[in-house]
Every structure is written in C-alpha cells, then in structure tokens.
C-alpha cells in the first residue's frame, strides 16, 4: 500500500510503498476514511531532532484518524468488519491510573506503552495510508449515527484538544462570562463551536487573517478582533472592560501569551494549547490576581466520545478541505504558509 512517511527528522515526508499491516492478538486494522493534517506535523518535519521526543522516524504521518474496521486480531469481539470508527490518538500503557481514567495523554508508565509519549503518526505508523494498524481495540470508538469518517477524523484532535481545555474551565464559563480564542485555525475554529455548543459565554475570536475572523463569525463568535497593537484594547472593550474569564491560546507564541495575560480577568484561566514555543514570565504583579495559567495536551477517551456525539448532532462541524495522498505534501506547504481555512483531511484513494 502507499503511505506518506517521515523518513528522517527535518525533512519533507515522502509517499512510498509499504506492506499492508496485519493485526495480531487484540489488534485492529482499519481502512482509512480520513486523516487530518495537523500543524504539529510541521514541527515534526522541520524542528524536531533526536532527543526532543523519545521516538524517531521512520513512521507514517497522521495522528488524526477515522475509517472502517478492515481486519480483526484474535480476541477482539466487540467490533465488526466494516464498522465505522474513530481512532483515539494518544497511546499509553492502558493500565496505569491515568490510562484507566482514559487519560492516555498523561500515561504514567510510558515505557510500557506501544511508543513512549506518542501514538499512531507520532512514532508509530499513522493514518496517511490506505490502512492503519491500531495496537489495541480500546483505542477505537464506534462512530455514532450521522457521523462519517471524513468528518470524524478532525474531531479526534482538532476538536478533542480544545474540548479538553474548555471542559476544564466550564465552571467559569457561566452566563455573563467571556471567552477569548486566540488563533482561529484548525483547532480554533472548533474551539469557537465548542464554546457555543457547551457554554453560555460570549466568545471573542482573535486572528491576524481576515478570512479566519470571517470563519469565526460564521461559527458563532460574538466579536472578532484583528491581531495587532490594538488587540488588547479591543478585547477589553468587547468584554465590557473586565477582561476574559477564559483565554484559550491556540498559538502559543511570545506575542499571544503576552496578549492572553493582559486581557485575562482576575481569577480567570489562561490555557496554552498552541506549541509555537513562546514563554510567559510570571511574577506576583505580571498577571492579574488569581489567574490560573496551564498547558493542556490533547484529551481523554471519554471526552472523545462526547465530541463525537456533538459532531453527530451537528453541533461541531469541521471546515474540511480534502486531498488525496498525492496532494498531502502540497497540503502541508499550504498549512505552513497559513493558507488553510479549517482542516485539510487526507483521503487515501480519492
């Protein structure tokens, strides 16, 4: 079969022929119906090197996947061939306290995981291929009626990641509150929808691109702000001068972190999701009183089930552009150049 593989650090991926995977005991092979192209893949291609993460190329890209069960290994009894499924992307040991809670992102025994700190498309073969081997059936969730693999794929990361960040701040997103979304890209356009579907907060979206702000408005933002020197003042005005109860930084640069700290309301949350590598100096007087600053990584299996339910009900609708495997490299170039609205989904065989 054909697969888009990263063969070495700091290189472009290549489309190559590899053997079709075969499932062992407890394993499942799925036929890929969609694999999302994530901005974090660009970090893998151009910035990572030996020692940055505890795994290395070669591997097939694509950590945001959905498709249909193709083959079952011995002992897998709750799935059927042809059944549509989504892949839970982070793969932990499956038995530590965090994994038993479904938080395999925070596995406490990564040495016993299929790949330490990673998953399919992150150290092991992912979904940018015709077929994908999933090492345990627990990592597959059946798609609810009304949701197809093409639109489910981006929900497994582009929606799950902001959903986890927003869910932990639900107590602060009450009527009369304000949430600021910085960066309306693949994750940000989902964050706006998640806030609209699950909270009563007024939503302010921030981005440098006019087309991204238009997208945010289409998906339910109450106000949009052009990134730049006047952004903090405009956000303050949009929040009635009080600041944001919750700031979601989907970029994570020095500039966006500084903006988030300036516009956060006292006792609010500033959650850093983006991995642009920025830093935020924190001292007693550098942020408003009792502002909680945290990072999050992906989300849990139970949360993915909730996200898929929202998708099936039409409350989360990713903006999708599809390409075949042959167009995946060019798609990543467009992503790097900031020319993508929503999410590019690779559909093998299309």
Residue 52 confidence (pLDDT): 87
Residue 349, CA distances (Å) to 5, 31, 245, 331, 346 in order = 16, 11, 45, 16, 9
Domains of the chain: 2-157+299-346 (3.90.180.10), 160-295 (3.40.50.720)
Residue 306 confidence (pLDDT): 98
Residue 33 confidence (pLDDT): 98
248-261 pLDDT, tens digit per residue, is 999 999 999 999 99
pTM recorded for the entire structure: 0.97
Pairwise CA distance, residues 143 & 141, whole Å? 6
307-339 pLDDT, tens digit per residue, is 999 999 999 999 999 999 999 999 999 999 999
94-142 pLDDT, tens digit per residue, is 999 999 999 999 999 999 999 988 999 999 999 999 999 999 999 999 9
Closest residue by Cα to residue 42 from 228, 257, 277, 325 = 277
Average pLDDT over residues 203-215: 97
Element (H, E) at 308: helix 301-312
pLDDT for 350 beyond 80: no
Per-residue pLDDT band for 229 (boundaries 50, 70, 90) equals very high
In the chain, how many H helices and how many E strands?
A: 10, 18
Mean pLDDT over all residues of the chain? Answer: 96
Residue 50 confidence (pLDDT): 86
Residue 89 confidence (pLDDT): 97
Per-residue pLDDT band for 51 (boundaries 50, 70, 90) equals confident
pLDDT for 349 beyond 90: no
Q: For 293, phi and psi rounded to 5 degrees?
A: -115, 125
Pairwise CA distance, residues 205 & 216, whole Å? 7
Q: pLDDT: is 48 or 144 the higher one?
A: 144
């Amino acid at each position: 079969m054909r697969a888009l593989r990263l063969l070495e650090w700091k290189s472009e991926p290549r489309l190559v022929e590899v053997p079709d995977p075969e499932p062992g005991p407890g394993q499942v092979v799925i036929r890929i119906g969609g694999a999302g192209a994530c901005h974090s893949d660009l970090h893998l291609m151009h910035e990572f090197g030996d020692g940055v993460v505890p795994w290395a190329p070669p591997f097939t890209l694509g950590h945001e996947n959905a498709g249909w069960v193709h083959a079952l290994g011995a002992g897998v009894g709750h799935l059927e061939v042809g059944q549509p499924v989504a892949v839970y992307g982070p793969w932990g040991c499956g038995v530590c306290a965090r994994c038993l809670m479904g938080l395999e992102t925070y596995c406490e025994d990564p040495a016993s995981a299929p790949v330490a700190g990673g998953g399919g498309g992150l150290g092991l073969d992912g979904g940018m291929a015709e077929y994908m081997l999933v090492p345990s059936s627990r990592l597959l969730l059946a798609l609810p009626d009304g949701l197809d693999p093409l639109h489910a794929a981006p929900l497994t990361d582009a929606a799950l990641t902001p959903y986890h960040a927003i869910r932990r701040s639900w107590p602060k997103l009450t009527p009369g509150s304000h949430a600021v979304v910085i960066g309306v890209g693949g994750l940000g356009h989902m964050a706006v929808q998640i806030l609209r579907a699950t909270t009563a907060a007024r939503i302010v979206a921030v981005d440098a691109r006019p087309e991204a702000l238009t997208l945010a408005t289409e998906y339910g933002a109450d106000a949009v702000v052009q990134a730049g020197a006047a952004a903090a003042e405009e956000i303050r005005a949009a929040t009635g001068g009080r600041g944001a109860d919750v700031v979601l930084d989907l970029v994570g640069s020095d500039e966006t972190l500084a903006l988030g700290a300036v516009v956060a309301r006292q006792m609010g949350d500033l959650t850093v999701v983006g991995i642009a590598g920025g830093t935020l100096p924190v001292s007693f007087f550098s942020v408003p009183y009792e502002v909680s600053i945290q990072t999050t990584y992906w989300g849990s299996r139970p949360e993915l089930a909730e996200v898929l339910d929202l998708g099936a009900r039409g409350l989360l609708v990713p903006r999708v552009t599809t390409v075949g495997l042959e167009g995946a490299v060019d798609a990543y170039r467009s992503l790097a150049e900031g020319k993508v609205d929503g999410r590019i989904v690779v559909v093998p065989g299309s």
